Chain A
């Protein structure tokens, strides 16, 4: 099994493309900055959102019960699923009982997590993802590479080719407007013919028993206002206590996600469409286990805005697929290994711990510190190869003994410059593949100090030799 670094190394090979990917996402980050800056109370909104989530997580079961009570009073049918398998079975049964063979879906990361599409398709149900980005990756038989921008890894030429093959667009046509128009026509047919629509849930409100779904394209609204059956799937953590909490989260969500002031459509469902049905499936699938972990439970505050992905310098340069988990990027690097430590064990290391994710997160999840802490879990559980730990143990042993540290340092600084370059920069030197090793000065700082360094000469920096790139050791 390959980890993140191997897959990232492959992504990095195409220099032009990786920079294109990086710049596309950085552009979204800049839009986010502009929108955030337009709100003077932005940082207070983040504090408030974080506190609402912390409060909600401390009474999650109560709020879910309150939601259920109110939702049922609104005519919504509520289901509970312990895991992905139960979730899929519930959705399938709803469809089967009503003879549904055609389903349209708007974006739902939860159903990706549960692998609902292949489950339903294997049972003879045609599933159409209707978010443009999701439809693109579905036609390519790929998962989304980003939770908000599912096809961010693809160029318009790739999509033009795909649409030519699948939707019959003109060969070589890659204009975004033209391709979007083609998708609109193609999906309009699906909407007209569908018997049921499935959506995710951005927020569920305990107090009113309603759910909120946000999209830009309007695909959730098409999919829930044409067919009589609406199924909405939500993780237990999607709940908010009160309707007024939406005021805080709606101000943060789209600004953080795409740098828009709000999504085009924010639909509030407090019951089925007249004459129809609304089913809400509430899913645990490992969330209660995350809640039990004091250090990592805050990852349940995530509102899936994707801002941590857009800002992450590693994500931008390694692509969503390098993470190998439904939710990539910093938040996925926490959620993935909590689901399967061995499978996703490389993810907490796929971060330079720069902390940009933590500062950008609208609900203030301490992402980079949690990634740091999760590395300890992986070592404790022996997911990290023992030889790596052994190496650290040796270094620690040396560093704990000043005399040994001094000796080792001196030896290294004496030997390395004397070795042939081919030896120093052999295949064991990962540092040296694209970088020179640091200079190996004759004397260390502490050795120099003993010689009482000469006082500095004021103004000496004026004579700095800037032309030379080599830094002379003292």
Chain B
């Protein structure tokens, strides 16, 4: 049986512990041996995103040290996984274990669908749900077809959620527009970032969503920050929190 290293990105660890727990519960259901290595902290994306390559290096190296020993690494965050898969090579190319790490680090839904082979989701969630397809999961991990691409439609997250009884995935006018988080962009370009966030929320509300869900807590943190400030009637949940009580097989 493969051994999973659970990667709970720093801001989830600190601000959204319930998402970490939900992720753990989802994975435990599959009867997989899971380990949470205590020395983990951050993948280094904030530094890399700011162009600070030297400041990213120790974190990339540390990540390899901490997670290199696992068969699979799973995280409830598309953008952190993309960091490992698409950007780590700059610092880790040629280092022992990196190729294995890169090809075996997965976003949660991607892991469920592609690796664990989950085809059935047994549970219910009788709410109208807006699925926010965060950009890095969408366009860098290809968790779904982006609206720009002229290829057959698919959505690894949507296909899991759609099986829940009572759930209604609402239609969005712009199915995959960026919410405006963008890492340090959220503060560097505060005005545009928040406008993008407001527009995204408005689109979900227009579709009738009661809950916004997604696979990237960073985007959800940004959207939730606006929702709470504006006291909008909209609940924000990570996809793991919706799936945690469902039976997966």
Q: A-side interface residues toward B, CB under 8 Å?
A: 4-5, 8-9, 12, 18-19, 22, 26, 33, 36-37, 39, 42-43, 311, 313-314, 317-318, 348-356, 358-360, 369, 372, 374-380, 384, 388-389, 392-393, 395-396, 399-400, 402, 405, 409, 412-413, 430-431, 433-441, 443-449, 453, 455-462, 464, 466-467, 469-471, 474
Contact = CB atoms under 8 A, between A and B. Distances in A.
B206 interface: no
Contact of B189 (A314, A358, A399, A455): A314
Given A9-B191, A349-B189, A356 B47 contact: no
A455 B25 CA distance: 8
Given A413-B14, A462-B126, 17 more contacts: A5-B188, A12-B195, A36-B150, A39-B150, A311-B148, A350-B189, A356-B146, A396-B58, A400-B59, A431-B186, A445-B8, A446-B36, A448-B21, A449-B21, A466-B235, A469-B228, A471-B228
B245 A461 contact: yes
Contact of B233 (A405, A444, A469): A469
Contact of B225 (A384, A436, A440): A436
Contacts of B176: 356
B168 interface: no
Contacts of A356: 135, 139, 146, 148, 176-178
B249 interface: no
Interface of B: 8, 10-21, 24-25, 36, 38-42, 44, 46-53, 55-56, 58-59, 62, 86-87, 123-127, 135-136, 138-140, 146-151, 174, 176-178, 180-199, 210-211, 221-222, 224-229, 231-236, 241-242, 244-245, 247
A393 B58 CA distance: 11
B190 A430 contact: yes
A415 B195 CA distance: 29
A188 B29 CA distance: 74
Contacts of B227: 469
A441 B140 contact: no
14 contacts: A317-B196, A350-B189, A352-B180, A354-B182, A372-B49, A375-B50, A379-B51, A396-B59, A400-B59, A405-B10, A434-B229, A441-B14, A448-B20, A462-B124
Contacts of A399: 10, 41-42, 44, 59
A7 B87 CA distance: 30
**Closest 3 CB pairs between A and B?**
A352-B182, A375-B51, A435-B225
Contacts of B151: 43
Nearest to B134: A354
Nearest to A46: B150
A395 B11 CA distance: 13
B130 to A, nearest CB: 13
Contact of B51 (A376, A438, A449): A376
A464 B128 CA distance: 13
Centre residue among B139, B146, B185, B192 by max chain A CB count within 10 A: B192
B181 A441 contact: no
Given A352-B196, A395-B47, A413-B14, A461 B242 contact: yes
A389 B86 CA distance: 23
A353 B186 CA distance: 11
Contacts of A445: 8, 12-14, 16-17, 19-21
Contact of A360 (B18, B126, B148, B222): B148
A437 B177 CA distance: 23
A313 B124 CA distance: 34
B47 A392 contact: yes
B194 A400 contact: no
Nearest to B200: A313
Nearest to A396: B55
Nearest to A374: B51
A457 B123 CA distance: 12
Contact of A392 (B52, B140, B211): B52
Contacts of B210: 466
Contacts of B40: 402
Nearest to A10: B191
Contacts of A456: 25, 244-245
A455 B234 CA distance: 27
A433 B190 contact: yes
A317 B16 CA distance: 30
Contact of B150 (A43, A355, A440, A471): A43
